[in-house]
Amino acid sequence: MSQKHTLNLIGGNDEETAILSAFPKDGLCHIQFQYRGKSIEAASRDYFDAFSEIRLQLEKDELIPFCYGASLNVFHSGMCRDMGAGLTAYRLTIGKKTERSDLVQIFDSGPDVIPTFVPKQKEFFQEWLKANA
């Protein structure tokens, strides 16, 4: 089951977009990301991690895809990884436990997306974990 998404890029030219293709192959979750005439790929045990690898490569060009998977306050859980191959993740609020209504599709976007780089997203997740311990 292959998925294709057109994502806006923050940090690029006005209305710059990229094409993301997500597909399973050889037991792994693969992502191909095409932008500016380039194509980069990553594979991992789930799509959230593969997307994080893609984002780390995009950071070299100071680009952030505008979607929930690249939002400061979104992170996956073990259940999201195991049950949904990392295609869903939770919107996190410091001091609040997650609920089913906090689930989002990582390649979707919305008005509450807070675009950020991978290290900042991981920092926020660690803060959330400490606040909810």
- Give tens-digit pLDDT for 5-43: 999 999 988 889 999 999 999 999 999 999 999 999 999
Domain span at 35: 3-131
pTM assigned to the model: 0.93
* Sign of the Cα pseudo-torsion (8, 11, 15, 20, in order): negative
- H-helix segments, 61-107: 78-84
CA distance linking residue 74 with residue 102, whole number of Å: 9
Number of other residues whose CB lies within 10 A of the CB of residue 106: 24
Residue 44 predicted with pLDDT over 90: yes
Phi and psi torsions of 119, nearest 5°: -60, -40
Mean pLDDT of 110-125: 96
Non-local (6+) Cβ contacts of 57 within 8 A are 40, 42
Under the banding of pLDDT at 50, 70 and 90, the label for residue 133 is confident
Select from 66, 47, 67, 64 the least CA-distant residue to 56: 64
Please give the order of strands across the beta sheet that includes 28-35. Answer: 38-44, 28-35, 17-25, 3-10, 64-65
Tell me how many domains the chain contains.
1
